[in-house]
Structure 1
Amino acid sequence: MNVLVCRWDRVTLEAVLDRGARVTLVFDEWEAANRGVDQKLLDRVDNYYVIRSFDALDELAQLAVDIRSTGVKIDRLLSLSEFSQFGAAYLAQLLGLALPAVETSVLMRDKRAMKDRARQAGIPCARFVSMSTRDIEGAVRRAEQELGFPVVVKPAAGLGSVDTSKVEDAEQLTAVLQEAGSGAGVRFLMAEEVVNGDEFHVDAVWADGKAKVFGVSRYLRPRMAVTTPGHDNGSILLPREHEAALYEEMENLHERINLAFDITDEITHLEVFRRADGELWFSEIATRFAGAAVPESFGPRAADLRELWIETVLGEGRELPAKTSPYPYVGWINLAPAEAGRILEEPSDESISRFPYVLKTFRSRPAGSEIEELHPSVWCLLLVIGADSEAQFRERAAELEAALLPAYVMGK
């Protein structure tokens, strides 16, 4: 099978190559400079291209022509990140592939289109208004009249909680829109009503409309309530055997969502709130694997979520053997500095090894890295940890924060 992989991700790329696929790889200049691209792994692919951006349609069109000129017929295209979704769908259309579809890429990336589709299907979700920096006064007026304050403001096609904020009044919303519109061109944003309650994410792999992998995780605290990236920033993968009723609710909701968005053969990352009245409300969905250490959290009980996905895509129906985990509750936390700047010192491997329930360690921003702006998705030191209960998981997360966060030293 000939597979076109969009974006650099070591685990996914190794999984595809190890299953015998022939790979054409495309990644952008930012990744080439910042992702630690491994030349030995590059040597295993058939061909690779470094492009300016997955948003540069002229370059993607030339790329498609070049791929076709090699005589290689691409059988499957895999888009590995949020920011490659639009470009990957465009490439797929130029290469004669049904998936990923352009319309689906818009539904997955533009949160206004996503919420519209969910509401049309009768799926409970937050009310919203569309805004642009071309008419700031009108946008503020519509948000105040249709939603009231406070509201959550986010880019229409943003990523997770980046550039997302809770806005308390018209004056603050005006300032947010003015800042967003300070550059060239028009920026599109959305304001939506605040939804309170526990926040969950559901990570699944689908084949012919059936879930091959399905995991429900609870965030330690809702993403919008994370005030610093190194505190209460993580999630717990809940065991089905202890949470059967919750899993059944989530499966029923996901079935409705899949029908609304025509999801049949994808990997998905869904975010859901349970409100105070007990009702589950749709927040967002993406046809990509989750960030942080969510994929690795599946490892102690099965395999990395990315490996499970690729096994479904390329494994001809084989099942990866289940593992016996010493912990029924596994999840991840993020430890990070509480201020921007250059990381001069960070927690050592030796200090982490004192906690036997830490199962894996990942350093996304090691010493020497720059943090320009703090937000919940500033991944620095990601730890996969295990526990016997959800309460114990939270206790261990707090213990790790208290012991390891003081080791961070920041400079300029």
Structure 2
Amino acid sequence: MPASTVFVAPYALPSTLKFVSAAAMLPETVFGIIAQESRESFLARVDPRVGACVAGFVQVQDAHDPDQLEAAVRQMAGALGTGRVDSLIGILEPLQEALAIVRERLRIRGMDAAEARRFRDKAHMKDVLRANDLPCARHVLAHDRETALAFAREVMPLVAKPPAGAGAKDTFRVERIEDLESWMERVPPSPSRPLLLEEFVQGTEYSFDSVSIGGQHVFHSISEYAPTPLQVMETPWIQWTVLLPREIRTPEFASILEAGPRALDALGMVEGMTHMEWFRRHDGSIAISEVAARPPGAQFTTMISYAHDTDFYRVWAEASVFGRFQAPERKYAAGAAYLRGQSSGAPGHGAPGHGAPGGGGQRVARVTGLDEIRSRLGDLVVEADIPSPGQPKSSSYEGEGYVILRHPETDVVRRGLQFVVETLRVGLEG
């Protein structure tokens, strides 16, 4: 009997559709989609071969509402002709708790509500990590101004974020008590809207991306950011890179190879992929920043695929739907250079504050350096999304485009990424 799988995807975003396609085309599966846009609008952006695999489609007003989601899943069980749903999946972090609540209500296999909360509530997550003697940044969940200021006087600099934030999104650095006081005058913390404050960990930032099956850690990949995501968010014009070194079972990564799986066990990861961000401080110690119970974004899954010569979108789908996984060999180093527009008239890399996310009506005017990239890097480039003149400035920290490189030697990829960000320029006007 085929497995009945329902994918919750509020909108047909390009990054989401890669995972939708992988799940829809699994054999021995009856597949349905729950979305906030119409069937016609959603499937118009899907490959016709994938669309042919969609046996059911239910539109809801708010996919993050567990009650609406539960009603849609019940309706989908009938639409698929199976009378049941075996797998309820989705990749967006804000959806994970709602998905888990519905799984628990309808007795669908997978992460339950308590487990999802440990991943989604970043303050609760750090409490769990500390209780299990796992290294993480000092933190406090401040429900009032006095608690926030007391922590800030002890721990400075620090970062502030909402408890249910995703990565560096909505995160900002605080280096003076006066800055925190000013911010809390505008958005005062309260029991209903607490503020998560953390030690600002200084060092090199990495990710630890993993696959779990049946509650067991079965695979991991390590990536290095340059510069850190917070620096990228603070400096909208800066072009940045992510490097996946070929060799990761080295003394350099011994601490995270021990702590990473323990953290997943403590948080209760069941099946699928996770994205963990962690730091190596200047003294060599590590600190886990946060963990998301979802696949990584920003082309990470694509890079992991290139590094292993394996389609990790399909890997995620098979792990999530069937609970199966076969570990591939890491054959290459891989990496991405993210291309972000720079305002005209700005010296060097551009001017801070120019071309901020949202774009203010700015558009790509020119792209320079492509000939040099083609001449010097050649076959190292395995995928690229080059901005086109007239393209609106992106509202995402990923920028206007990217270039992905791959080679058996890590240093070759590292040098190539640096060459891309130093050579390729995206000029903005407007």
The bucket for the TM-score relative to the shorter chain is 0.7 to 0.9
1:82 lines up with 2:93 in the alignment: yes
Give, as a single letter, the amino acid of the residue that structure 1 aligns with 2:383.
K
Q: Which moved more, 1:220-229 or 1:349-358?
A: 349-358
Matches of residues 4-153 of structure 1 in structure 2 within 5 Å?
Answer: 4-7=6-9, 8=12, 9-20=16-27, 21-29=29-37, 37-38=45-46, 40=48, 41-70=50-79, 72-132=83-143, 135=144, 137-145=145-153, 147-153=154-160
Matches of residues 12-411 of structure 1 in structure 2 within 5 Å?
Answer: 12-20=19-27, 21-29=29-37, 37-38=45-46, 40=48, 41-70=50-79, 72-132=83-143, 135=144, 137-145=145-153, 147-180=154-187, 186-226=192-232, 227-229=234-236, 231-240=238-247, 243-300=249-306, 301-313=308-320, 317=324, 319=326, 328-338=332-342, 339-340=355-356, 341=359, 342-345=362-365, 347=367, 351=371, 353-354=374-375, 355-356=377-378, 357-362=380-385, 367-371=390-394, 377-387=397-407, 389-405=409-425, 407-411=426-430
The Cα of 1:389 is off from its aligned counterpart by 4.7
Misfit runs of 4+, over 6 Å: 30-36, 363-366
> Does the aligned pair in 2 maintain the 1:54–1:88 contact within 8 Å?
no
- The 3-state SS of whatever aligns with 1:299 is helix
Unaligned runs of 5+ in 1: none
Residue 344 and residue 196 in structure 1: after superposition, are their counterparts in 2 closer, same or farther (change >3 A)?
closer
Q: Which moved more, 1:203-212 or 1:108-117?
A: 203-212
Say how many residue pairs are matched: 398
The Cα of 1:236 is off from its aligned counterpart by 1.0
Distance 1:177 1:34 in 2: 40
Give, as a single letter, the amino acid of the residue that structure 1 aligns with 2:312.
L
Give, as a single letter, the amino acid of the residue that structure 2 aligns with 1:46.
A
Distance 1:177 1:217 in 2: 35
Q: Which moved more, 1:89-98 or 1:49-58?
A: 49-58
> Does the aligned pair in 1 maintain the 2:152–2:158 contact within 8 Å?
no
Give, as a single letter, the amino acid of the residue that structure 1 aligns with 2:292.
A
CA deviations 1:99-154 (Å, max 9, x no partner) are 2211122111111111111111111111111134xx4x324423334x33221111
- The 3-state SS of whatever aligns with 2:201 is coil
Give, as a single letter, the amino acid of the residue that structure 1 aligns with 2:160.
V
- The 3-state SS of whatever aligns with 1:384 is strand
Relative to the length of structure 2, the TM-score reads 0.81
- The 3-state SS of whatever aligns with 1:285 is strand
Distance 1:197 1:337 in 2: 26
Give, as a single letter, the amino acid of the residue that structure 2 aligns with 1:381.
G
- The 3-state SS of whatever aligns with 1:298 is helix
Q: Percent identity?
A: 21
> Does the aligned pair in 2 maintain the 1:344–1:409 contact within 8 Å?
yes
Give, as a single letter, the amino acid of the residue that structure 1 aligns with 2:212.
W
Q: Which moved more, 1:154-163 or 1:314-323?
A: 314-323
> Does the aligned pair in 1 maintain the 2:122–2:164 contact within 8 Å?
yes
